[in-house]
Structure 1
Amino acid sequence: MNSISVIIPVYQTESQTKAAIQSVLDQKVSIPVEIIVVFDGPSPYIDELRSLYPTCTILEQAHQGTYAARRRGLEVATGDYVTFLDSDDILAPRALYTYIKAYEKSRGEVIIGKVSPVYNKKKWLMPIDDDRYFFYTRTKFNSRHLTTIHGWMIKKDLLSDLPVLETRWFADTIIAHTIIAKLTNLTSVSYVVYGRNSRSTPLEGQSLYQARDITTLTDISRIYGMLSAHTMDNTVQKFLNTWYKRFISKRGRALLERSTSKSQQADVFRHVAYDLRRTKTRSKYLQAWSTGSYFMFRSYITAVKTKRTLRTARRKKIKNGLMLYRLFQKMPVKENLVLFESFLGRSYSDNPKALYLKLKEQRPELELVWIFSKEPSDDVKEACPNWVLKNSFAYYQAMARAKYWIFNTRQPLSLKKREETIYLQTWHGTPLKRLGLDMEEVHMAGTNATRYKRNFYNQAQEWNYLISPNAYSSEIFKSAFGFQNTMLETGYPRNDLLYADDQAGLISEIKARLDIPADKKVVLYAPTWRDDEFIARGKYRFDLQLDLNEMQARLGDDYVVLLRMHYLIAQNMDISGHEGFAYDVSSYGDIAELYLISDVLITDYSSVFFDYAHLQRPMIFFTYDLEKYASTLRGFYFDFEAVVPGPLLKETDQVIDYIEQIDTKSVAYQEKYDRFLERFCSLDDGTASERVLAELFPSTAQSTMEDETTETE
């Protein structure tokens, strides 16, 4: 970097241009710096500025927009690096020094610094003169870089072939897009280099952002089409698609409605809809727009507004509910009331279900009540006649007065149990992935590592008892949860079903319920969720990597495939076209019943394989992202490849090949299977529920022993 050109376009902001120019002149650097001011339209201030700043190059042109003004400045620029400064903004005091230091260390072709509001000057981070404490990073281009080039120092050679284009908007995007294809070294610094002003009064004039109207949508559609036509690289096109969809999502409807012309609205709406149909999107908002029907789009917007209103009402209801909860806690505990909840009320399943069934049989005098997040099906109502709806009046009353809580997931910290309540945390799996306090990083939506661990620890302190399926889990639960109360190392109650006497009858009954042909073998695919693939807080997406078309073609005569997604995954699988072969059983109540009917399990890092192993049937580990999951997202408690009793496969054809020869291929894993069973499955024998209840209700154990003695006599 031998010299720098600072290009300042000016349009209707002459009163602030002096501050912009002065911020450049105040820079203290050892290399030449030229200032090029381009007036985008006639102005009475031009002569004044020429006399005040004789060293500046001042150009004039007819009003054509910021992009044209920048191109005009580039035509006369002599610096080998260029930065663009809006006339109503300023450079930070040590901006050019920062760029030069970063260049000396990294030889970056583009150097990006921080942008901060001018009113926040006191908090601006500036580099100090000691080079040992100058921090920079080499980074990669992403879609957000298409939004702005404020704070960028760009090698001039990268700007040699900017397209000739008439537009008032998106000058930054056009320039950034031109740079991407040539860029090999992008450097980022954590220091403020650019001070952005905001104008909010009529006297100060409108900024380009404030002046946007429906023509902005016309321009972005045109620019998106033009840039797409000249994009040869798939990665760059993905960046461009993301940038376009992000703008339409955030600004599209507001800009559309700034026009009073219905015909103009319809025309622009159709143009954008055409663009959106060419790109894939998970956004229901953009999907509604892409239909091209303004009526359907407006219907969707109305539905979203209604949903938000209901959500606000629900939050208010919860807030009022917490007040009720604290009020009900002043009432006496109901000694015979036992509450059950599985996966935050989403299902009637897992360890709580097994304990419920056993307790219902042993202690009919107890009041057993289930918590559900929505009204359960008729079958569930028949099995659980006593139930309450989460966040209802009855729910808060039951939570406040119950003697026993039997849950398999954490409860909100706001629902702090009373001292007399006994809380049995059954948990819901043997730990493979790092949990709670053992996680080094947290990639989940709506939280960070510190908050997540603090909440996890505080919630675990509420548990009086914690069920462990084996000695291995007991040690991990103590460290991961910070658990110091009573550990019940009993095996998992939910696995009692896997040791049932009449398995053949149960299998026939479950297959008939799911409409699965009795003569077909069953493949169960049960993957876990990925922490970083979140849609929103508490909702995660999952991209199906198994090729169902190929599986159906090769396995369809003998097998069906059940797809069981983790309860945190928000959307259902799209299995249209695979009817009669693929079944989405994500909402099926009890996964243990799915284990029973399955001849082979395909999973990845889900703890389901610890339970399925009790059946001693073949397992396949479809670990297409093993390196990422093990090193970046969670990490494992043991050497995954060395311990799991089945092959680690990464492609669909490998999975199919293994299933086609499963009887012979699975023999190679029998020794590993035996070691696995000894380490993780030795406690379960079909009576884990009884062992847990004997600890929780000592009188139950005593009465059971008396019954057995009577029968013997």
Structure 2
Amino acid sequence: MNQQWSQFYKDAGSKQVILFGMGKMCEWFLNYGTNVNIKALIDNSPSKVNRNIFSIYPNLKEQHVQDPIIHSFEDVTSSADTSQFILLITTRYDDEILKGIDIDSFYNVYSLPKMNNDLVTKREQYDKLPLVDKKVVVFADVYGEHGKAITQKLLQMDDTVDVVWIVNKRPSDCSRKVRLVYRYDFESYYYEISTAKIWIVDLSVDADIKKKSGQIYFQVKHWSSITLKKFSCEDMKWASMPGAVEFQKKEAARTDYILSGSQFDEDSCRRGFMYNGPFVRVGSPRSDIIFQPEIKNVVRNKLGISEYKKVLLYAPTFRVSKDESFAHQHTEQGIDFELLRDSLTNKFNGEWIILLRLHPSVASSADGIKLPDYVKNVSKYDDSQELVACCDALISDYSSIIFEAAYVYKPIFLFTPDLDEYLKHERQLLLDYRELPFPISVSNGELKRNIEAFDEVKYRKCVENLFNKYQVHEDGHASERAAEFILGLMNFKGKL
């Protein structure tokens, strides 16, 4: 039997997979072995047969599982032509199972423990390879945020740089000069991270990945120069999760630099990330696009919106479930879109289109929401900064996207019917919410009044005072400064 990950994914590209063994290895595979169509889940333990896999592992990522109910081996194999399926054994008792089944009756049979053993051998070989000075690996869930802006500027300034992105899915607008490696392609994944001199990290790197001597870990995080909510070790819910604080201590120890855009940003990162190293204060690269006026019509063309219409972006954040899973949830806040549109027209004139953008972690929740024809669901639009650049005004609640629209003084309104509940029980904030320069509304009527009473001169002054207080100075050139710093790292032997 071939027990290499590369061959498994080649086979799984055309065949469906049956998983045998619903233990912790199976949980790991369902979370990380993505892009596989799973025909059935089987286990011979009576305590697991007929149970839903999500009742055993409630925090599983969404997978291509046709049937989440666990079956016995006999139930599945007696009713299916197994020659059309791949059997993946996901238990350490793989040798015993292999002895008891007819291997030749399946298209192919793989053992997850043996595949991982082969991978360990390859990783040891990759660790001995030399680093490539002009090679950057970007760790991110999606192609976007600061990493995207820095990548574009890097390649513009030096197109000989080898930029590799570790992604979960293929982005729609990625430069051809960027090499994509899928997170589940473990062999390629480990090869690239073992040979790149620089890691650009959106949040964290897997705990089992060891940084080699000479590699540089550049943490860019996924918020701009000022953020609203406490994070990581300052977020008590997150910090209470088993192993979270210890993981962050180790992550901070291997971090060489953190990108920042203000003194406020650096102070909050020191506390939240438990980090005592140097910062690279360049601004917010992902926000540069908001300063580019030509982007407005480019995005509107993508969305099929006339340049003569005005656009409001409504971008509420998620809520955290009150159970032990801390799962992200979307909560309907009852915004009155018709009253909102009328209020915008009364105050700012013109015909308004409303864009609904839910947080990426709950974007699928928007699929079932019934919306009027003047409201577009853009929750699955890849780049939220493009949406900010596109809009004429913004409404949110507790999302830090509000600050990015404020960099160019776009009108911002806060719609927070659950304000007291959120501030008491949901998330701790870094700023006094009620002192923000954005009008707060706890009802649709109050939102209408705040929109119609909006004073642009007073608003601009309040925004300037906020940014001056926290030393936030965005100018649309942060990605250029970040790229220059990274190019300097490539050309210098060691750290700057």
TM normalised by structure 1 equals: 0.50
C-alpha distance after superposition, 1:80-135 (max 9, x if no partner) = xxxxxxxxxxxxxxxxxxxxxxxxxxxxxxxxxxxxxxxxxxxxxxxxxxxxxxxx
Structure number with greater CO (CA < 8 Å, separation at least 6) is 2
Unpaired runs of 5+ in structure 1?
1-250, 256-281, 284-299, 703-713
Q: Give the number of the structure whose residues are more often helix, by fraction.
A: 1
Q: Which residue number in structure 2 is paired with residue 340 of structure 1?
A: 138
Instruction: Tell me: CA distance 1:498–1:315, structure 2 relative to 1, closer, same or farther (3 Å).
Output: farther
2:484 corresponds to 1:694: yes
1:18-167 map, 5 Å: none
Q: Which residue number in structure 2 is paired with residue 493 of structure 1?
A: 285
C-alpha distance after superposition, 1:527-558 (max 9, x if no partner) = 22223367967x52211213355447746982
Q: Is the contact made by 2:163 and 2:178 (CA closer than 8 Å) also made in structure 1? A: no
Identity in percent: 24
> Quick one: distance in 1 between partners of 2:227 and 2:201?
17
C-alpha distance after superposition, 1:309-349 (max 9, x if no partner) = 9895998677865664344122221222111233x2xx221
> Quick one: distance in 1 between partners of 2:217 and 2:112?
26
Give the number of equivalent residue pairs.
396
> Quick one: distance in 1 between partners of 2:478 and 2:111?
39
> Quick one: distance in 2 between partners of 1:640 and 1:330?
51
Instruction: Tell me: CA distance 1:534–1:396, structure 2 relative to 1, closer, same or farther (3 Å).
Output: farther
Instruction: Tell me: CA distance 1:548–1:533, structure 2 relative to 1, closer, same or farther (3 Å).
Output: farther
2:166 corresponds to 1:371: yes
The residue type equivalent to 1:437 in the other structure is C
Q: Which residue number in structure 2 is paired with residue 629 of structure 1?
A: 422
* RMSD between superposed Cα atoms in Å: 3.7
Q: For residue 615 of structure 1, report the CA deviation from its aligned partner.
A: 1.3
1:263-302 map, 5 Å: 302=67
Q: Is the contact made by 1:624 and 1:650 (CA closer than 8 Å) also made in structure 2? A: yes
2:129 corresponds to 1:331: yes
The residue type equivalent to 2:333 in the other structure is Q
Instruction: Tell me: CA distance 1:608–1:314, structure 2 relative to 1, closer, same or farther (3 Å).
Output: farther
> Quick one: distance in 1 between partners of 2:373 and 2:119?
45
Alignment equivalent of 1:387, drawn from 166, 177, 180: 180
2:249 corresponds to 1:484: no
Q: For residue 514 of structure 1, report the CA deviation from its aligned partner.
A: 0.9
> Quick one: distance in 2 between partners of 1:658 and 1:520?
22
> Quick one: distance in 2 between partners of 1:426 and 1:324?
29
Q: Which residue number in structure 1 is paired with residue 215 of structure 2?
A: 421
2:451 corresponds to 1:653: no
Aligned to 1:353, the other structure's residue is in SS state: helix
The residue type equivalent to 1:545 in the other structure is Q
C-alpha distance after superposition, 1:152-173 (max 9, x if no partner) = xxxxxxxxxxxxxxxxxxxxxx
Q: Which residue number in structure 1 is paired with residue 352 of structure 2?
A: 559
Q: For residue 403 of structure 1, report the CA deviation from its aligned partner.
A: 0.8
Instruction: Tell me: CA distance 1:616–1:301, structure 2 relative to 1, closer, same or farther (3 Å).
Output: closer
Q: Which residue number in structure 2 is paired with residue 592 of structure 1?
A: 385
Alignment equivalent of 1:432, drawn from 228, 243, 255: 228
> Quick one: distance in 2 between partners of 1:566 and 1:327?
40
Aligned to 1:405, the other structure's residue is in SS state: strand
Q: Which residue number in structure 1 is paired with residue 251 of structure 2?
A: 459
Q: For residue 620 of structure 1, report the CA deviation from its aligned partner.
A: 0.9
> Quick one: distance in 2 between partners of 1:418 and 1:426?
20
Unpaired runs of 5+ in structure 2?
1-46, 56-64, 72-86, 91-109
The residue type equivalent to 1:687 in the other structure is H
The residue type equivalent to 1:332 in the other structure is P
Q: Which residue number in structure 2 is paired with residue 675 of structure 1?
A: 465
1:508-523 map, 5 Å: 508-523=297-312
> Quick one: distance in 2 between partners of 1:315 and 1:514?
43
Alignment equivalent of 1:613, drawn from 366, 381, 406: 406
Q: Which residue number in structure 1 is paired with residue 36 of structure 2?
A: none
Stretch moving more, 585-594 or 461-470? 585-594
Q: Which residue number in structure 1 is paired with residue 328 of structure 2?
A: 540
Aligned to 2:254, the other structure's residue is in SS state: coil
Instruction: Tell me: CA distance 1:553–1:636, structure 2 relative to 1, closer, same or farther (3 Å).
Output: closer
Q: For residue 467 of structure 1, report the CA deviation from its aligned partner.
A: 0.7
Q: Which residue number in structure 2 is paired with residue 352 of structure 1?
A: 147
Q: Which residue number in structure 2 is paired with residue 473 of structure 1?
A: 265
Instruction: Tell me: CA distance 1:670–1:337, structure 2 relative to 1, closer, same or farther (3 Å).
Output: closer
Q: Is the contact made by 1:334 and 1:402 (CA closer than 8 Å) also made in structure 2? A: yes
Q: For residue 584 of structure 1, report the CA deviation from its aligned partner.
A: 2.2
> Quick one: distance in 2 between partners of 1:545 and 1:310?
44
> Quick one: distance in 2 between partners of 1:387 and 1:591?
21
Q: For residue 665 of structure 1, report the CA deviation from its aligned partner.
A: 4.4
The residue type equivalent to 2:303 in the other structure is L
Q: For residue 384 of structure 1, report the CA deviation from its aligned partner.
A: 5.0
C-alpha distance after superposition, 1:162-188 (max 9, x if no partner) = xxxxxxxxxxxxxxxxxxxxxxxxxxx
C-alpha distance after superposition, 1:474-510 (max 9, x if no partner) = 112112211122211221111222223xx1x321111
C-alpha distance after superposition, 1:135-158 (max 9, x if no partner) = xxxxxxxxxxxxxxxxxxxxxxxx
> Quick one: distance in 2 between partners of 1:499 and 1:549?
28
> Quick one: distance in 2 between partners of 1:629 and 1:310?
44
Instruction: Tell me: CA distance 1:497–1:680, structure 2 relative to 1, closer, same or farther (3 Å).
Output: farther
2:167 corresponds to 1:402: no
C-alpha distance after superposition, 1:244-292 (max 9, x if no partner) = xxxxxxx9x969xxxxxxxxxxxxxxxxxxxxxxxxxx99xxxxxxxxx
> Quick one: distance in 2 between partners of 1:310 and 1:583?
42
Larger Rg: 1
